[in-house]
Amino acid sequence: MIIREAVEGELAFIREQRVSSYEEHAAKIPDGHWQALKQGISSKADTQAGVELLVAEFDGEILGSVALFPAKMDAYEGQVEDLDYPEIRMLAVSPLARGKGVASALISECINRAKAKGYHAIGLHTGDFMKSAMSLYERLGFERLPQYDFEPANDGIIVKAYQLTFTK
């Protein structure tokens, strides 16, 4: 498996793959929340200046993707104050490729890129209904930062903040 920058011709596929990988959550949350989430992961936010869109590829097939937003960028449309470290967003793995280390490889690449740029930490946010994602982040050493949680749709669903601080 290789982790590389996405190319423009792959954007539509990546966004479709995101939706299919997040679709399992649609039945667990109100339809309005699902529609907002679907719109967010399908948006062009991943093409903003400074955002690094990465894919995991194996034998010519894209298994997953992630967007690494730079520090001090409004990654959540005003829901969270600008943070002084990069944010992992829109992590998605094809349902057929789960359990093969794709998510961990994408997260590791984001961590390496943040460290190479001299940052002290990296963060992310995830819906409180994404239990397996939260479990993965905690296994990788991410810690909760409840002060950066938010409730985007006022429907009781909390988007939880996590941070991994790097040791020198």
| pLDDT (tens digit per residue) in 96-149 | 999 999 999 999 999 999 999 999 999 999 998 999 999 999 999 999 999 999
Query: Could you tell me what percent of the chain has a pLDDT over 70?
Result: 94
d(CA 148, CA 37): 18
Domains and CATH numbers, the chain: 2-165 (3.40.630.30)
Of 4-18, 63-77, 89-103, 127-141, the one with minimum mean pLDDT is 63-77
pTM listed for this prediction: 0.92
**CA-to-CA dists, residue 136 to 6, 13, 52, angstroms:** 24, 25, 22
**CA-to-CA dists, residue 158 to 16, 28, 31, 77, 126, angstroms:** 24, 13, 15, 16, 8
